[in-house]
Amino acid sequence: MENNYDTMMAAKGFLPYKMGYLTDWMAKKAEEELNETEESRAQALTELRRLIAKERNLEIWTDDSYLLQFLRARKFDPERAMELIHNLYTMFKDNPDIYPKQLDTSIADTICEADAGGAFPYRHKDGGVVVFLKAANLDPDKISTQLAFLSAIAMLLSLAEDPATQVCGVHFVYSGEIKMSHIGLFRLRYLKLLSKVLRNTMPIRFNAIHIVNESPILRYVFNTFKIFLSEKIVNRIHFHGSDMKQLHQYIPKEILPPEYGGDNISYSAVEFCKKEIGPFIKKYSDMLQKGYI
C-alpha cells in the first residue's frame, strides 16, 4: 500500500528506481544522444557478437539485454563497446583477490547490513538513478577493502541491468567523512582501480559525482587521484561540504533522506539493499565465473 511519500512522488512525476523499460521520452533520448534506432540496434548487436566471437578465450553472455548495456554506454559503437567488455573482464581476471571465480553469495547480507551504499527509490528528473556511498560506515573488521570494491562493482552492475538506467545514467553522492581505519581504501592500487571504473570499465553513464561532508584528507587524496581521471569526469565532480542546499541544486531534495537534507524520512538503505541489490549477487557470482579463461 502506498504511503504519503510515494503518493507525493508520483504526483510530482518522479519515476521509480526499478523501471525495466524505456518511456517514450527515454526512447527519444536514446535516439538523440546514443544513436539508438531499431536499425542501429540490430546492426550493432550483430557486429558486437562477431567481435566477441573473435576475442580469444572470452566467454560471456551474448543475449540482447546484456550486450545492450555496453552498446548504450558507448553510443552504439561496437568497437568501443567491445573495449568496455574487454576492460571489465580484464579487471576481474587481473584482480582475483577482489573478484574471485568462486564468490560466496552469503556476503549479500554482510554488504547490506553495513549500511554503506545503495540507491534511492526514485529517479532524478532526468531519469538517472541516484546512488550513494558512505565509506565511513564500513567496518574494516567485517568488510575488507577488497570486499568494499567487490560490493561497489556489484551495486553498479546491478543498476546497469535496467534499460532506463542504461539510457539515463547515474548520479553519485559520496559522503566524504574519512576515518583513519579507512586509509587502506586510498592506496595507489585502489585509486587506480577506481579511476578505471570511472573512465572505461563499467557499462554506466556517470552523469555527476557529488561529494558531501568531505574531510581535508579526502581533498588531499582527490588532488592526487584526479591525475588518473579524464577531464570530462573531473568536470563532473562537485564538492558541497556540509551545504545540502547546494546539493539540492543538482539532486532534488524530494529524493534524498534527511541526512542529505531530504524529504524521504522512511528510507532504509539496509532494507532497500536487501530487496533490490542483494538478489543480484547470485548473477554477479555467475558473471565472475565467466570472462577470460
Return the axis-axis angle of helices 64-73 and 78-94, rounded to nearest 10°.
100
Is the pLDDT at 184 greater than 90? The verdict is no
The pLDDT assigned to 224 comes to 79
Quick check: 226 and 234 in contact, CB under 8 A? yes
Cell of 129: 538513478
The pLDDT assigned to 139 comes to 79
Mode of pairing for the β-strands spanning 291-292 and 206-212: unpaired
Q: Between 262 and 188, whose confidence is greater?
A: 262
The pLDDT assigned to 180 comes to 62
Each residue's pLDDT tens digit, 157-183: 999 999 999 999 999 999 877 766 556
Distance CA 46, CA 7 (A): 43
Q: If you average pLDDT over residues 199-207, what whole number do you get?
A: 92
Average pLDDT, the chain: 90
pLDDT-derived band at 2 (thresholds 50, 70, 90) equals low
User: What are the angstrom distances between the C-alpha of 26 and each of 47, 222, 280?
Assistant: 24, 34, 24
Amino acid identity of residue 199, one-letter, is: R
Burial 87-96 (b: 16+ CB within 10 A, else e): ebbebbeeee
N- to C-terminal Cα distance for the chain?
48
The pLDDT assigned to 77 comes to 97
The pLDDT assigned to 176 comes to 77
Distance CA 49, CA 67 (A): 8
- Report the predicted TM-score, pTM, of the whole model to 2 decimal places: 0.91
Burial class (CB in 10 A: 0-12, 13-18, 19+), 8: middle
Proportion of the chain above pLDDT 90, given as a percent:
63
Distance CA 67, CA 203 (A): 10
Is the pLDDT at 9 greater than 90? The verdict is yes
Distance CA 248, CA 261 (A): 8
Q: If you average pLDDT over residues 58-84, what whole number do you get?
A: 97
Beta bridge partners of 264: none
The pLDDT assigned to 1 comes to 40
Each residue's pLDDT tens digit, 129-165: 999 988 778 777 788 888 888 888 999 999 999 999 9
Each residue's pLDDT tens digit, 21-69: 999 999 999 999 999 999 999 999 999 999 999 998 999 999 999 999 9
Each residue's pLDDT tens digit, 209-265: 999 998 887 887 788 788 888 888 889 999 999 999 999 999 999 999 999 999 999
Domains and CATH numbers, the chain: 22-98 (1.10.8), 106-287 (3.40.525.10)
Is the pLDDT at 289 greater than 70? The verdict is yes
User: What are the angstrom distances between the C-alpha of 72 and each of 8, 34, 115, 152, 170?
Assistant: 32, 6, 30, 21, 13
User: What are the angstrom distances between the C-alpha of 4 and each of 9, 10, 169?
Assistant: 9, 10, 28
The pLDDT assigned to 212 comes to 94
Burial 238-257 (b: 16+ CB within 10 A, else e): ebbeeebeebbeebbbbbbb
Of all helices (H) and strands (E), which one includes residue 175?
strand 170-175
Most confident of 39-48, 111-120, 196-205: 39-48
> What SS3 state is found at 216?
helix
Closest residue by Cα to residue 212 from 172, 252, 269, 263: 172
Q: Characterise 113 by phi-psi region: left (phi > 0), alpha (psi -120 to 50), beta (else).
A: alpha
The pLDDT assigned to 228 comes to 83
Q: If you average pLDDT over residues 101-113, what whole number do you get?
A: 85
Quick check: 193 and 150 in contact, CB under 8 A? no
Is the pLDDT at 99 greater than 60? The verdict is yes
pLDDT-derived band at 94 (thresholds 50, 70, 90) equals very high
